[in-house]
């Protein structure tokens, strides 16, 4: 299957342009759209094709119907959670999911399965208590610890994540710098209407940084998908006049991410159709590396697949092995960005040495 056909379909659906499904590759494309989270974005544009097989038509309609039903339920749970926090005087900010879905031609075109609520460090424990009180029958399996990125519970099948921080960073300088950036982005949150509720979402410039960093974080861990690229493209398009370029560049440079950001901008412009003037710091000079990144995103999976091996009982051996795996990831990242790879190596060595002599603690 040619991946350019897949990207072409996504690009057309993203900007509400005519799209055609290559009927001879139906099953492969169905699988790819499911893996990349873009099925419900593309399916409405191609369901009108008369040459679609009955199998493909049923699969597409089922996926769209399931997403719509799921979102009705999740929005109901979200409304309960948001109102409970507001009544308790806790200022939350909605991240990802529903806040990004409003940027799509139709909200149901953007799948999302959980609720991400940023409350910050000071409100973290009170907010967790409010969620437990609001959903007393929810499944609770996470510990409410201060080194976790978020606390998680599952209410009526819906995962609610109460965030202390929006992104977890390992280098202490990155962590401190991002904390200041995050403070600005959440303090200057803007308001949108969602199902008749006034909801806060991150300030546009910070939201662009966060959505990008979230996608990159996924690429460095469990694997990224094309839906995350679509999120960033539509966010930059919708808030083009509100993005503060100087502020964004300062933030990216402070976090050693300007080179990686340019890879994403090349993908958005050259492959997903974002107008060049809406892609801050776009440059053609990174095209070959951006293509490598896109190819790997389409393949799915981790940077470097981990082999199943017995976990060492000795804590020093265990932590040393983890550090070696992360250095292997850093070496792989060189194919995309030598600059960020160097920063990863420094981070892994510093964080690894700190953890080597620290007490064991549970991580998500």
Which tens digit of pLDDT belongs to each residue from 5-20? 889 999 999 999 987 7
With pLDDT > 70 as the criterion, what percentage of the chain qualifies? Answer: 89
pLDDT at 357: 56
Is residue 193 within 8 Å of residue 199, measured between CB atoms?
yes
Q: Does 363 have pLDDT greater than 50?
A: no
Q: Which residue has the tokens 């303090």?
A: 187
Cα separation, 10 vs 105, in Å, equals 13
Domain positions in the chain: 203-302, 311-364
Cα separation, 152 vs 128, in Å, equals 9
Is residue 175 within 8 Å of residue 159, measured between CB atoms?
no
Backbone angles phi, psi at 153, to 5 degrees: -140, 160
What residues contact 4, with CB distance under 8 A and at least 6 apart? Answer: none
Q: Does 148 have pLDDT greater than 60?
A: yes
Query: 245: burial class by Cβ within 10 Å (0-12, 13-18, 19+)?
Result: exposed
Average pLDDT of the segment spanning 265-292: 97
Q: Which of 20-34, 171-185, 261-275, 295-309 has the lowest mean pLDDT?
A: 295-309
Cα separation, 6 vs 243, in Å, equals 30
Cα separation, 165 vs 90, in Å, equals 15
Q: Does 175 have pLDDT greater than 50?
A: yes
Q: Which residue has the tokens 């994540």?
A: 161
- Dig out the tokens for 301 from the structure: 């999976």
pTM of the predicted model over 0.85: yes
How confident is residue 349, by pLDDT bands cut at 50, 70 and 90?
Answer: confident
Cα separation, 206 vs 244, in Å, equals 9
Count of Cβ atoms closer than 10 Å to residue 116 Cβ: 21
What residues contact 122, with CB distance under 8 A and at least 6 apart? Answer: none
- Dig out the tokens for 66 from the structure: 């399931």
pLDDT at 358: 55
Is residue 293 within 8 Å of residue 278, measured between CB atoms?
no
């Amino acid at each position: 299957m040619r991946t350019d056909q897949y990207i072409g379909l996504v690009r057309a659906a993203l900007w509400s342009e005519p799209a055609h499904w290559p009927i001879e590759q139906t099953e492969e494309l169905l699988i790819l759209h499911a893996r990349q989270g873009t099925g419900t974005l593309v399916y409405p544009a191609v369901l009108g094709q008369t040459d679609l097989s009955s199998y493909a038509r049923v699969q597409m309609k089922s996926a769209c119907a399931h997403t719509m039903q799921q979102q009705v339920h999740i929005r109901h749970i979200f409304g309960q959670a948001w109102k409970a926090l507001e009544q308790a005087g806790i200022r939350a900010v909605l991240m990802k999911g529903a806040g990004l879905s409003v940027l799509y031609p139709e909200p149901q075109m953007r799948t999302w399965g959980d609720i991400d609520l940023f409350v910050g460090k000071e409100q973290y424990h009170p907010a967790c208590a409010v969620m437990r009180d609001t959903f007393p029958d929810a499944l609770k399996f996470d510990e409410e610890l201060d080194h976790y990125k978020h606390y998680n519970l599952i209410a009526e099948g819906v995962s609610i994540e109460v965030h202390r921080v929006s992104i977890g960073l390992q280098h202490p300088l990155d962590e401190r710098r991002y904390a200041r950036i995050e403070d600005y982005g959440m303090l200057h949150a803007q308001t949108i209407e969602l199902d008749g509720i006034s909801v806060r979402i991150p300030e546009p410039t910070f939201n662009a940084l966060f959505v990008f960093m979230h996608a990159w974080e996924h690429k460095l861990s469990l694997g990224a998908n094309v839906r995350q690229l679509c999120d960033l493209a539509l966010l930059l398009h919708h808030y083009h006049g509100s993005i503060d370029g100087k502020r964004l560049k300062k933030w990216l440079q402070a976090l050693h991410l300007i080179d990686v950001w340019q890879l994403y901008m090349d993908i958005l412009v050259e492959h997903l159709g974002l107008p060049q003037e809406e892609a801050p710091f776009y440059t053609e000079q990174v095209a070959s590396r951006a293509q490598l990144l896109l190819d790997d995103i389409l393949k799915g999976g981790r940077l470097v697949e981990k082999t199943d091996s017995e976990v060492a009982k000795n804590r020093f051996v265990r932590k040393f092995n983890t550090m070696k795996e992360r250095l292997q990831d850093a070496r792989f990242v060189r194919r995309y960005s030598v600059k960020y790879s160097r920063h990863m190596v420094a981070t892994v060595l510093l964080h690894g040495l700190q953890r080597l002599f620290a007490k064991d603690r549970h991580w998500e």
